Every structure is written in structure tokens, then in C-alpha cells.
Structure 1
């Protein structure tokens, strides 16, 4: 059976938390430079490391003027301008315009995770295809976890949370295409808040597999993260 594996990279947001005082607020985070190249380009190239991925579909906001310049000449890469108001909306839009079959799979990766190692991507694909079950990269929580409660201008410790069996979710996240589309549409109907694809799958009654990821695959979120990521690349 001919099976397709399509990667979706939602890149329609602006990444407001990553904007420092000295940064141009009109430039979306994914186009900030890391070692002379846009962060988005690094993330796409990371996905292209595995030849089993038939195509990387980068989902941009309508009217985006940077994507073609940064990504236009990359192989197996398609730009689509159908980004939505949220990540879940963007991925749903991408799935709805794809004519995928029951046997096809999709991988969804963050534009802000340019440090994805090839071996982590390979481990995720091997595990999901080998077991026939969707999953995601993740890391066990290494630190003591506190739950905080706002108190005026401060945040006070409300409780210490047991970190056993707690994991930090990463991307890529990989699922059968039809299942993910159905789960996202179901979450949309329920007006549920979906922060990653796995949370939609969980709400739909499924249990994704956790595949150990890499510390290099952290999400560039805060202004100081750019300098740290450049040291990894």
C-alpha cells in the first residue's frame, strides 16, 4: 500500500513573547535570523533530513511577504497561505485542503524548534510507523515543579507538584492524517482549547505514545532563547 507522510509546519503567528525591547515588532518570530538564516528555514530543513517525508507544507498567514523569499528554493517544500487565528485552526485548514487517504500520516512541527536532531525525528517516525500508533517527542520533567497563585504583584507557591510521570511535550507530533483531522474538528465543535495536536487526540479518546526527544529541540520562546539556540545550531 502506498503511504504518504506529509509534514505540516504552522507558521502563521507572530511570536509576541520572543520580542525584546530592541526588536522589530513587525517581523514575525519565525523570520528572525539564526546564524544568518531565518529560524523558519532551519525548522523546515530539519524536517527535510528524513527522506521518508514526502512533502513539507509550510502554512503561512494570508498576505505573508517573507515566506517565499526565505523558503522558495527548498526541495519538497510547499507554501500555503491558509493560516488561521490559532495553531489548531491553522493545522485544521492545512488538513482540510490535503487530499490524504486513510493510510497516510502527518507530522506537525513547530516553526520555533529549529534544533530538531535527525535522530529524534527518525525515532519518532520509526516508533509511530512500527506500532501503527500516533505519538510525539517529549522529555521527562527534570526539575521540581511548583504551582503558583497570583498575589498582588507577586506569585506565591500554592503547591509542589509531583513530577513523577510528568513530561514536557515537544514537536514533531505524528498521527494518522484522518484521525488528526477528525480530532481537531471534534475539538472545534466542543470549543476546546487545543495547545498541541496530541491534546486534540487525547480529547478524542486516544493515547499518544511518548518518544524521548532531545534538549536541543527546545522551543524558542523568549528573547534570550535566540542566543542559546545559535549555540546549538
Structure 2
């Protein structure tokens, strides 16, 4: 973190950071009926290719590392070549957990990387505004993530019995890319892996250290494809965007 602060306060106004993206794409896709969701076609193009193209369009992102399962190394590397994805510098094998997989991706980045944008491989509809907004905030504050206010009322329950109805106005659905100072997220994930902490997203690894994460404006169309229904919704959203 000290290295980030030194760069932050020593930089010139308007200077752009070196931001790299790490794309975890190593999941088992169990809720997709055993099919690898990142390879499924979306408007005739694999989901992962849509995701990587969205990241490539950001002028802030200098390179991309994809993290995947060993059995997907060859097909994903081939997709990147055939898709002319010039910012994809490496495809690396993930670990036993999301935290370990992302950490392996971060460790594959150049030492001079200042910011790391971690984006789900199964979020193909992310927009430039969402990507760039999170990067700008992280450049100023050290940690940022896009989010949208919840539309539904949420219940906290145990054994089917409602225990609490939280105030919806204070609840947000957090999306990706989640963007961090490289030193900060490297240390936070390293500690989480070392301690076996059950983290559900990368922000929670930073939050465990007592560090602040700032929310930026997300987009309701920035959905994560997890089930067959999600893929159908993504197809409809893509068609709606193109109409």
C-alpha cells in the first residue's frame, strides 16, 4: 500500500495509471448443467470473448491476464488468438479458490502495474462507463467497485423463518470490475489465502484489512451469467442494445 500512496501523491495531474485486468474464468459452471458458461455462444460469440473485448475497449487497461482451469488453457488461448485480443498477455492456471486464482493472475502481472481491475469472465455486457468509472475511483482512493441499488426487498431468514427485513435503501448489489491498488489487493488476497478466509468477492479481502472500498455507478445490464436463464437474459439485452 505504501508504494501506491507514493505513486498517488507523486504523480502529475492527468497522468494515467498502469491498470491491468485479471479475468477469473476457472469456475466449474455447475449451475449451467456442466457446460462451461464462458465458452457458450452469446449472439454467436463465446461469452468470454465478449467480456475480453469489453475490457480491451477501455483506454485505461494496458493488458489482460485470464485465469482458468488447466483443461481450458488451450481452448481459451486459441479463442484469444482467433479473436485478435491484443491486450491478453497471458492465460494462467487458477487455484483451488477464487482468491487463489485471482492472486495467481496478479502475480503474473508486471511489477510496475499500479492498478488491478478484477472482472468476472462471465460478465460479458459490462460497459466502458462502468469499467472506467471504477478505475478512476480506485486511482483516487485505492479501492473501488461498481454497484447498483437493490430493487427487491431482502429478508434475512433462518430455517425458513424471517428474522429481519434490512433497510433496502442501504443495500447494493456489487458488480465487477473491482479495482484496487496493486500492492493493496496483492497483500489482501495473500492474507486471505494464507488464513483460509471464505471470501465471496475481492472487495471482502480488502475489507478484512479494515480498508475502505468506494462504490461507483454500476449498470443493471452488467449481469453475471450463472444459469441458463441468465444466458437467455443476456441474449435479450444484447439484442435490445443493438436495436
TM-score (norm 1): 0.88
* Aligned with 1:98 (options 104, 109, 128): 109
Give the CA deviation at 1:81: 2.5
* 1:63–1:81 contact (8 Å) kept in structure 2: no
* Aligned with 2:129 (options 93, 114, 119): 119
* 2:19–2:116 contact (8 Å) kept in structure 1: yes
**2:212 aligned partner:** 207
* Aligned with 1:181 (options 186, 192, 198): 186
Q: For 2:186 and 2:92, locate their aligned partners in 1 and report how far apart those are by CA, in whole Å.
A: 19
- Cα RMSD for the two superposed structures: 1.7
**1:52 aligned partner:** 60
2:84 is the counterpart of 1:84: no
* 1:100–1:177 contact (8 Å) kept in structure 2: no
**1:74 aligned partner:** 85
Q: For 1:159 and 1:222, locate their aligned partners in 2 and report how far apart those are by CA, in whole Å.
A: 28
Q: Which moved more, 1:59-68 or 1:168-177?
A: 59-68
What per-residue deviation string (whole Å, max 9, x for no partner) do you get for residues 91-146 of structure 1? 11112233323x611100001111101111122222222x2421001111222111
Give the CA deviation at 1:158: 3.2
SS in structure 1 of the partner of residue 101 of structure 2: helix
Q: For 1:104 and 1:36, locate their aligned partners in 2 and report how far apart those are by CA, in whole Å.
A: 35
Runs (4+) of structure 1 moved beyond 3 Å?
Answer: none
From the two aligned structures, give the one with the greater helix fraction: 2
* 2:57–2:128 contact (8 Å) kept in structure 1: yes
Q: For 1:3 and 1:111, locate their aligned partners in 2 and report how far apart those are by CA, in whole Å.
A: 23
Give the CA deviation at 1:162: 2.1
Give the CA deviation at 1:156: 3.8
Q: For 2:210 and 2:236, locate their aligned partners in 1 and report how far apart those are by CA, in whole Å.
A: 40
* 2:65–2:92 contact (8 Å) kept in structure 1: no
* 1:16–1:29 contact (8 Å) kept in structure 2: no
* 2:25–2:69 contact (8 Å) kept in structure 1: yes
2:53 is the counterpart of 1:42: no
Gaps of 5+ in 1: 20-24
